[in-house]
Amino acid sequence: MATLTSSYLVFSITVLVLITCFFFSITVSRAQDVGGDAGGRRELVPAMFVFGDSLIDNGNNNNLPSFAKANYFPYGIDFVAGPTGRFSNGYTIVDEIANLLGLPLTPAYSEAAGSQIFHGVNYASAAAGILDASGGNFVGRIPFNQQIRNFESTLNQIGMVLGASEAVAESIKRCILFIGFGSNDYLNNYMMPNYNTRNQYNAEQFADLLVQQYTQQLTRLYNLGGRRFAVAGVGAIHCVPSILAQSVNSKCSLEVDNLFSPFNNKVKSMINNLNQKLPDARFIYIDVYRMFVDLLRNPTPYGFSVINRGCCGIGRNSGQISCLPLQTPCANRDQYVFWDAFHPTAAVNIILARNAFSGNTNVVFPMNLQQLATIDL
């Protein structure tokens, strides 16, 4: 895979023009060098706002008192800016989606300033969950509820410039809101021995609890003006190197798979319910699980040859201890499905993003991201 770049062309236009473009959603061509094929591509939406966990965190945990950080080498070894806080060797899924939408790479909330916010902000935080308590073993993290409050802060900044809440709402409804949660509510809550959650809820009950909270949170984003939502399901957690390392035969865990399945199924139903309940809302579900399982079952057509261990890690399956500072990763990273004990490589992230962007209803429904970006509301 060719090295992807994320350098931005500095526009010689005033902030006022940027705001005007944002407000009226003018899709003008810009000669931006944001990597891949995006140079000169028309912007399909004015902005993308990102909420999630370590799969899409791009630096929000860097300055937190947290054990969940990736702002050190070899993370970012294939990213033009080096280690930024991305839990990947290069692109995350939302980096490639921004590229496909014709947008600059979305800045982390902790770093976004000035006119950057008019193309979107990334609020994702490693170890974050739907539940505020999830991820507590990592100490610092920004749960979904706080990410929503940070989004409100961004909207207030935009409102100070636009001067009217109606103007902000009109602008935000044209933007994509990308949301991906759930993994940490299981891996770093339900499955942890120091949490009492598993004694309180069985798998179905816990999934119900999560989806009830998730529904309320997504409705809050709708009430803040969001209308175009892309919700990513939980991937094949039962086959990550950390789980494989716990098996004598390095096999995927059916028990973990059965634990997560109710959540994904209920999120799909939630998407249908929200589309029916909320006027003018368009929610789509990205079936990351299905795409990931296909990669693991048929790796060769995608160019992968190593599916059962991380490119960077220690111990059995390179998954008992995740990627350490200054550790030497594998050389053939494009052939690995997993980068570390939990996260996919940039090569996988790009495939997932492209399927979400232009795939059929087998992997993203009721429409894909490209259709979501261009549909009239």
Task: Dump pLDDT digits (tens) for 106-150.
Answer: 999 999 988 889 999 999 999 999 999 999 999 999 999 999 999
pLDDT band at 4; cut points 50, 70, 90: very low
Asked if 370 contacts 357 with a C-beta cutoff of 8 angstroms, the reply is yes
Q: How far is CA 270 from CA 1, 89, 211, 275, 284, in A?
A: 36, 33, 7, 9, 10
Q: Which two tokens stand for residue 201?
A: 């809820």
> What pLDDT is stored for residue 159 in this prediction?
86
> What pLDDT is stored for residue 161 in this prediction?
80
Instruction: Give the model confidence (pLDDT) of 325-368 as tens digits.
Output: 999 999 999 999 999 999 999 999 999 999 999 999 999 999 99
> What pLDDT is stored for residue 164 in this prediction?
66
Rounded Cα gap, residues 214 and 115, in angstroms: 30
Q: Which residues are catalytic?
A: 54, 340, 343
Rounded Cα gap, residues 377 and 373, in angstroms: 10
Rounded Cα gap, residues 76 and 2, in angstroms: 14
Asked if 328 contacts 74 with a C-beta cutoff of 8 angstroms, the reply is yes
Instruction: Give the model confidence (pLDDT) of 280-306 as tens digits.
Output: 999 999 999 999 999 999 999 999 999
> What pLDDT is stored for residue 163 in this prediction?
74
> What pLDDT is stored for residue 40 in this prediction?
56
Instruction: Give the model confidence (pLDDT) of 192-247 as tens digits.
Output: 999 999 999 999 999 999 999 999 999 999 999 999 999 999 999 999 999 999 99
Centre a 10 Å sphere on the Cβ of residue 260 and count the other Cβ atoms it contains: 24
User: Apex CA 243: angle with CA 240 and CA 248, to 5°?
Assistant: 125
pLDDT band at 377; cut points 50, 70, 90: confident
Burial of 37 (0-12, 13-18, 19+ CB in 10 A): exposed
Q: Which of 4, 1, 2 is nearest to 82 (CA)?
A: 4
Of residues 115 and 12, more confidently modeled: 115
> What pLDDT is stored for residue 33 in this prediction?
29
Rounded Cα gap, residues 152 and 373, in angstroms: 22
Q: Pick left, alpha or beta for residue 59 (phi over 0 → left; psi -120 to 50 → alpha; otherwise beta).
A: left
Rounded Cα gap, residues 151 and 51, in angstroms: 9
pTM for the model stands at 0.90
Reply yes or no on whether the pLDDT at 27 is more than 90. no
pLDDT band at 5; cut points 50, 70, 90: very low
3-state DSSP assignment of residue 304: coil
User: To which residue do tokens 């009239």 refer?
Assistant: 376
Q: How far is CA 348 from CA 52, 246, 302, in A?
A: 18, 23, 9
Helix, strand, coil in percent for the chain, rounding step 5: 40, 10, 45
The average confidence (pLDDT) of the chain is 90
State the chain's maximal CA–CA distance in angstroms.
61
> What pLDDT is stored for residue 34 in this prediction?
27
Rounded Cα gap, residues 302 and 181, in angstroms: 26
- Strand 306-310 to strand 336-338: parallel, antiparallel, or no bridges (unpaired)? parallel
Reply yes or no on whether the pLDDT at 16 is more than 70. no
- What is the percent of the chain with per-residue pLDDT over 90, rounded to a whole number? 83
For 126-166, the DSSP string reads TT--SSTTTTGGGB----HHHHHHHHHHHHHHHHHHH--HH
Instruction: Give the model confidence (pLDDT) of 73-93 as tens digits.
Output: 999 999 999 999 999 999 999
Q: Does domain 15-374 have CATH number 3.30.499.10?
A: no
Q: How far is CA 336 from CA 66, 89, 121, 241, 308, in A?
A: 28, 11, 29, 12, 9
Centre a 10 Å sphere on the Cβ of residue 176 and count the other Cβ atoms it contains: 27
Rounded Cα gap, residues 85 and 108, in angstroms: 9
3-state DSSP assignment of residue 95: helix
H/E stretch holding 294 reads helix 288-297
Q: How far is CA 294 from CA 86, 307, 355, in A?
A: 24, 12, 12
- Strand 364-365 to strand 282-286: parallel, antiparallel, or no bridges (unpaired)? antiparallel
Rounded Cα gap, residues 157 and 213, in angstroms: 27
